[in-house]
Structure 1
Amino acid sequence: MSSVPDNAPHQCPGTQSEDAGKASACAGCPNQNICASGVPAGPDPAIEVIRSRLANVKHKILVLSGKGGVGKSTVTSLLGHGLAKLNPDVNVGILDADICGPSQPRVLGVRGEQVHNSGSGWSPVYVTDNLSLMSIGFLLGSPDDAVIWRGPKKNGMIKQFLSEVDWGDLDYLLIDTPPGTSDEHLSLVQYLSAAGVTGAVLVTTPQEVALLDVRKEIQFCRKVGLPVLGVVENMSLFVCPNCKSRSEIFPATTGGAAQMCSTLQAPLLGALPLDPLLARCCDSGRDFLQEIPGSPAVAALQAIVKQIVSTCES
């Protein structure tokens, strides 16, 4: 019987197969080069390096979404600001692992900043005194430059971020991932396997077309042993900034995230209303929690942040 690595794709031909490292299922697999060379597969030495590098990071949380456009990066930035404001003594880091669509530098208002490299590694860019960010967006010549990479190169960049960024002492590291359940997600789970991942926060919108993909995301987490901290339903309602009236922009025809979480026995962290002022703050890189503290979205976010802290500290 062919030996199949634990982190291999579902249709892996096995290390003893003549197609090892060459089959279509091997594209983007972290073990592709090893299998193709005929060298016996073993633990990636980077896993231990990453464990050592992240030893002073208390909680490592992946922010996932099955579908693009549900506001995952926005929610990540809000969680970062929320955790940092909840306690000024808490240090929070955000790793923008969306290699082809790095939006965190703009959303957090630090576009154009430079990453400094020293003997201790790359230094993240500080958004506030206790909130820092690392993104490939800081390494591009222009914000309009496209990252046109195949899976293995993206995986290599993620490995470099995890092993070479000097975060210092962090209480929370939020990892903003691209949509889906593919190369980047498998690599993150593999590379963080020895570092201890606290869990994942899943982001969705209420309509069934988004929930379909989030169900797949929950199954992905369970298959790879990644705890689900909870689901955030983003853009659940539209709140008029003038009259404060509410209406459904994305109708929850099948019960929304609440019904899905009940069916799949996943925690529901809360629902964030759609506020047009939030979109404006993200586009201009302003802190929504500070700019619009009276927004219903801020109150909902603070409740979600407290639930995440309670779950992590329990």
Structure 2
Amino acid sequence: MSAEHDPIDRARRAAGAVLDPELRRSLDELEMIRDVSVTPNGIRVEVALTIVGCPAADRIEREVRAAVARVSDGPVEIALSVMSPEERQALITRLRAGRQRGNPFVPGSLTRVIAVTSGKGGVGKSSITANLAVALARRGRAVGVIDADIHGFSIPGLLGLVDDAGRTVRPTRIDDLIVPPVAFGVKTVSIGMFLREGDEGSAVAWRGPMLHRTVQQFLTDVYFGDLDVLVVDMPPGTGDVAISVGQLLPHAEVVVVTTPQRAAADVAVRSGLLARQSGQPVLGVVENMAPLTLPDGSVLELFGSGGGAQVAAALTTDDEAIDVLASVPLSAGLRGAGDAGVPLVVSDPEDPAARAIEELAERVLRVGRDLAGRPLPFGVR
């Protein structure tokens, strides 16, 4: 019997093509299809999950059943088991592709790093980060987000990574490998995912060394896979984390977020200057909460105007002109979408703020580095 007509082969190929929702690789590539057999009742598929209590177990079972049912005539039985320690270690080795444990986002990597920063809090930096990341993912990019705002983390809530009980969704641990949860196509890690249950609302009272170690672990211990873009939500100001990110990701391109208010703009300039001191290039400025055109045609300048242009002018040098990449108008929808955990670019893409962020994503891609002509890290064996 040819493979085309072999029911076991058809079922194996269908089951193997299903993607693991966390690792974003096929079950065949991950060697999670342990056995396929024909029984008196139909087709039986045994799937080896990575860990006991795998949070994606129900989804994997459901999608494998549906995939096999499409190529089989009879009932489909799915048997879930768990990988042995040896199988799990072999999987981790394959995922790391032989690379030593360390920061995969060093200068020269194919992942573009965008650090979104601000001079002060309350300017909507995290909302811009979350929506920008989702907008990039919707353009077919593989995107990850690191919430480096340790003391004021908010990315999990903005991306809806909260369960029905209000608890932050936690990463999956495969031995020493941390697999980040995915929301709206974006892989995300935040300190809020590692706090003990019940401590989510408490303050993270850490100082310099702990902050540096946390950011370092996010880079080295979290398995993001192959990313096109890594977006880092920075804490406001020029403190310990900003310095650590400058050391760990010296090639990150910095987007400075400000409001139109002069007081916010004056402080925002400092975050761009610190980036330059670390060797990080300033990609541009985003003006958030910009003037809003009302239905009657009048313009509401709640926070004034011109702050974005002021920051761009202050950061422009004889060798480099800095532009305002986007002016995002004041939007109740942006605030409401953040509270609901559904980014505005998804919930209401026609909102003027959503359209401005979509244009920001386009501009980030247009002004970013070009991989054309760069040697890819492939060797001849």
Instruction: Please classify the TM superposition score into its range, dividing by the shorter chain length.
Output: 0.7 to 0.9
Partner of 1:217: 271
CA RMSD of aligned residues (A): 2.0
Structure 1 residue 104: deviation in Å? 0.5
**2:282 is aligned with what amino acid?**
V
Based on CA coordinates, which of the two structures has the bigger radius of gyration? 2
Report the TM-score when normalising by structure 2: 0.64
The yes-or-no answer on 1:92 pairing with 2:92 is no
CA contact (8 A) 1:56 1:169 kept: no
Partner of 2:290: 236
Partner of 2:280: 226
Partner of 2:128: 75
2:186 to 117, 128, 131: 131
2:209 to 149, 152, 171: 152
Structure 1 residue 289: deviation in Å? 1.4
Aligned residue pairs total 258
Structure 1 residue 239: deviation in Å? 4.7
CA contact (8 A) 2:284 2:324 kept: yes
CA contact (8 A) 1:99 1:136 kept: yes
Q: Deviations over 1:135-170 (max 9, x none)?
A: 111112232122111221111111111110100010
Q: Deviations over 1:226-262 (max 9, x none)?
A: 100000000012355x66753101013xx32113313
CA contact (8 A) 1:74 1:282 kept: yes
CA contact (8 A) 1:50 1:191 kept: no
1:264 to 305, 315, 319: 315
CA contact (8 A) 1:120 1:166 kept: no
The yes-or-no answer on 1:162 pairing with 2:219 is yes
1:269 match: secondary structure: strand
The yes-or-no answer on 1:60 pairing with 2:117 is no
| Structure 1: distance between partners of 2:352 and 2:278 | 36
Partner of 1:101: 152
Structure 1 residue 206: deviation in Å? 0.6
CA 1:244 to 1:158, structure 2 compared with 1: closer, same or farther past 3 Å? farther
CA 1:156 to 1:222, structure 2 compared with 1: closer, same or farther past 3 Å? same
**2:189 is aligned with what amino acid?**
M
CA 1:52 to 1:258, structure 2 compared with 1: closer, same or farther past 3 Å? closer
Q: Deviations over 1:86-110 (max 9, x none)?
A: x23x111110011111101101001
Report the TM-score when normalising by structure 1: 0.77
Partner of 2:356: 300
CA 1:244 to 1:300, structure 2 compared with 1: closer, same or farther past 3 Å? farther
Partner of 1:25: none
2:353 match: secondary structure: helix
CA 1:163 to 1:244, structure 2 compared with 1: closer, same or farther past 3 Å? farther
1:170 match: secondary structure: coil
Partner of 1:17: none
Q: Which runs of 5+ in 2 are unaligned?
A: 1-99, 163-167, 317-321, 371-381
Partner of 1:207: 261
Structure 1 residue 69: deviation in Å? 0.5
RCO higher in 1 or 2 (8 Å CA, sep ≥ 6)?
A: 1
Partner of 2:238: 181
Q: Which runs of 5+ in 1 are unaligned?
A: 1-47
**2:134 is aligned with what amino acid?**
H
CA 1:109 to 1:311, structure 2 compared with 1: closer, same or farther past 3 Å? same
Structure 1 residue 302: deviation in Å? 1.5
Report the identity percentage. Answer: 35
**1:136 is aligned with what amino acid?**
I
1:225 match: secondary structure: coil
| Structure 2: distance between partners of 1:150 and 1:51 | 22
CA 1:121 to 1:186, structure 2 compared with 1: closer, same or farther past 3 Å? same
**2:154 is aligned with what amino acid?**
S
Partner of 1:280: 336
Partner of 2:56: none
2:228 to 157, 168, 171: 171
Partner of 1:246: 299
